[in-house]
């Protein structure tokens, strides 16, 4: 099954961008996934191709109009389309690795990229948009966030990574940050590879990696560790940004 991504944006030229390179780019060429960037302005109804208007109640900036955006969504995702409709938004639920895996297991996604001050709330409700955030910061638009989300999803599609195990031993997959990695040379500027990693004892190696992952998580993301000294990962989702 091909993963179908449709992005609704005012800047379709931003796609595929980095997604046209490396693993994602090769998978795109191979047809493992497809990407269609739809210009929202094509659904404007006036000669100036206006897509926004001033916020009701006053305030700075402009808001994307519900009617224009609804027309673009209906074109990209007609009735019966099983793909989830996502809106990249700083007020959305944080993107987690668990949600990324859910999306990768599905038929694709329709991704709306906001601009200006935001999107009319009525189209969010009327078209069932799921608001998604990649972090607690503000971007100039939803396009960079959409690229991040798609990169995270595409790399998990079957056949994209050379070794499927690579995707199961990374940060957030076990609820912890990933352990440190080493490779040749055996010694670098007086720093040797930890002895346990060259011992050949796979049980010791697995235990060491778990201990290192737990220590890093406690230091850098204590919110992910909910079991105190037991080292059990927290049930709280982590931000994907």
184-201 pLDDT, tens digit per residue, is 999 999 999 999 999 999
Burial (Cβ within 10 Å: 0-12, 13-18, ≥19) of residue 176: buried
Per-residue exposure over 184-206, b if at least 16 CB sit within 10 Å of its own CB, e if not: eeeeeeeeeeeeebeeeeeeebe
Structure tokens given for 18: 């980095």
Predicted local distance difference test score (pLDDT) of residue 153: 98
Residue 3 parent element (H or E): strand 3-9
Predicted local distance difference test score (pLDDT) of residue 232: 57
Predicted local distance difference test score (pLDDT) of residue 174: 73
CB atoms within 10 A of CB 232: 13
Q: For residues 58 and 62, what is the distance between their CA atoms, to the nearest angstrom?
A: 10
Model confidence, pTM: 0.87
Alpha-carbon distances of 59 from 1, 56, 98, 117, 202, rounded to whole Å: 46, 8, 37, 10, 61
The domains of the chain, with CATH numbers, are 3-154 (3.40.1280.10), 170-230 (1.10.1270.20)
Spans of the chain below 50 pLDDT: 228-230, 235-241
Instruction: Compute φ and ψ for 59, nearest 5 degrees.
Output: 125, 170
Taking only the tens place, the pLDDT of each residue in 13-53 is 999 999 999 999 999 999 999 999 999 999 999 999 999 99
């Amino acid at each position: 099954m091909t993963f179908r991504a449709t992005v609704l944006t005012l800047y379709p030229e931003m796609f595929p961008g980095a997604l046209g390179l490396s693993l994602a780019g090769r998978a795109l060429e191979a047809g493992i996934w497809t990407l269609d960037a739809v210009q929202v302005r094509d659904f404007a109804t006036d000669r100036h191709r206006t897509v926004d208007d001033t916020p009701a109640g006053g305030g700075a900036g402009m808001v994307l109009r519900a009617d224009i955006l609804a027309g673009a969504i209906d074109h990209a995702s007609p009735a019966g389309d099983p793909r989830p409709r996502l809106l990249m938004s700083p007020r959305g639920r944080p993107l987690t690795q668990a949600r990324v895996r859910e999306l990768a297991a599905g038929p694709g996604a329709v991704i709306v990229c906001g601009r200006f001050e935001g999107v009319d709330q009525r189209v969010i409700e009327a078209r069932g948009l799921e608001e998604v955030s990649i972090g607690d910061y503000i971007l100039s638009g939803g396009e960079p966030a959409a690229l991040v989300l798609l990169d995270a999803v595409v790399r998990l599609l079957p056949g994209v990574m050379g070794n499927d195990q690579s995707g199961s031993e990374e940060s957030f997959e076990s609820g912890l940050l990933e352990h440190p990695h080493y490779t040749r040379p055996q010694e670098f500027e007086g720093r040797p590879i930890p002895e346990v990693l060259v011992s050949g004892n796979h049980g010791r190696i697995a235990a060491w990696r778990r201990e290192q992952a737990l220590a890093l998580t406690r230091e850098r993301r204590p919110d992910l560790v909910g079991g105190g000294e037991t080292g059990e990962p927290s049930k709280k989702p982590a931000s994907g940004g």
